[in-house]
C-alpha cells in the first residue's frame, strides 16, 4: 500500500535519520528538520500531543503550514504556547 505519512519531532530530524529508522513505508514522508523546542526541555511529549490534536482538525493544511501556524522561532515562546494549550485540556 502506498500512502503519505508525517513525522513530527519537536527537536527536529534529519532526512538521513528518518530514512534510517522508517524503512517499511512507501509514499511521501513529510517531516521537520527545524527544532521548535530547546534541547534541554522535557516537554517533548506535550509538543507531540499539541501537534497531533491540531492536525486532527486541520488535515486541509500542508504539514509545513501546520508547523508554521503553531510555532515561532523562539523556544521559550513555543514552550509557553504548548503549556497553555495542555493546561486548557
The domain ranges of the chain are: 5-87
Cα angle at 50 between 41 and 24, to 5 degrees?
Answer: 90
Residue 64 pLDDT greater than 90, yes or no:
yes
Of 38, 40, 36, which is closest to residue 51 (Cα–Cα)? 36
What is the pLDDT confidence band of residue 1, given thresholds at 50, 70 and 90?
low
pTM of this structure: 0.88
For 6-57, write each residue's pLDDT tens digit: 999 999 988 888 878 877 777 888 999 999 999 999 999 999 999 999 999 9
Amino acid at each position: 500500500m502506498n500512502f503519505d505519512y508525517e513525522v513530527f519531532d519537536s527537536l527536529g530530524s534529519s532526512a538521513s535519520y528518518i530514512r534510517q529508522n522508517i524503512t517499511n513505508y512507501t509514499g511521501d514522508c513529510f517531516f521537520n528538520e527545524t527544532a521548535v523546542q530547546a534541547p534541554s526541555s522535557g516537554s517533548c511529549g506535550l509538543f507531540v500531543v499539541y501537534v497531533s490534536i491540531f492536525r486532527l482538525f486541520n488535515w486541509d493544511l500542508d504539514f509545513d503550514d501546520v508547523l508554521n501556524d503553531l510555532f515561532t522561532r523562539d523556544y521559550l515562546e513555543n514552550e509557553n504556547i504548548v503549556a497553555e494549550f495542555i493546561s486548557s485540556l
